[in-house]
Amino acid sequence: MNIVLDKVKHNIVFYGFRPQDSLSLHEAYAKKGNYPFRFPPHSVYMLIEVKRESYKQKSLRSVGMTEKFKDGPYIFDSYFESGNLDIAVKVNEYEYDLYMRADSNTRGHHQWFYFSVQARKEGIVRFNILNFTKRSSLYTQGMRIAVYSEKKAQRAVLGELPKLYASWHRGGDNITYKLSKLSQGLYQRAKIL
């Protein structure tokens, strides 16, 4: 699937999980693996199912990597607790525009991100998060993102890299924070609400 931004066609690489309600979220995570969740009593569950059917969308989108990019150089994922990557769009071979899902129980705030990327080839990649609405951020004062690399962690355990890389640490290069054309519009809408 393609998306047109600034009169240029881009490829949608990834669609994030959009649960209908919190029960859908917990059900999905419980089915995926070791996620402790007790389903509500049968009568309550039946009422929720009836309500869901009345609001069901006509067409549900797929979740995960789009068919064309399943074997691509970067595999995105946010189908885990607190994951909030909604859409990833390929701009070019080493650049992706990312859109985060709005924070829960807000009027559409976007101020954090949590997702994973599996790189199938080495190289520097640029991620542009386009829908943050805050005018400034600690990133403008030198804050760096929290990163974890399984490969670097293994090398750190073997003593090939500093112990710092054995766990989550601050990383990323050339981090800038500024309002994009999209986030400027979102910020103006947020001020009006």
Question: What pLDDT sits at residue 49?
Answer: 59
15-42 pLDDT, tens digit per residue, is 888 777 666 777 777 777 767 766 666 5
- Tell me how many domains the chain contains: 2
Domain match, 29 and 91 both = yes
* β-bridge mates for residue 147, sequence order: 169
Domain match, 25 and 111 both = yes
Domain match, 168 and 136 both = no
Close Cβ partners of 113 (under 8 Å, ≥ 6 residues apart): 84, 85, 98, 100, 129
Q: Model pTM greater than 0.85?
A: no
Residue 80's nearest CA partner among 129, 40, 115, 123 is 115
Q: Which helix (H) or strand (E) holds 167?
A: none
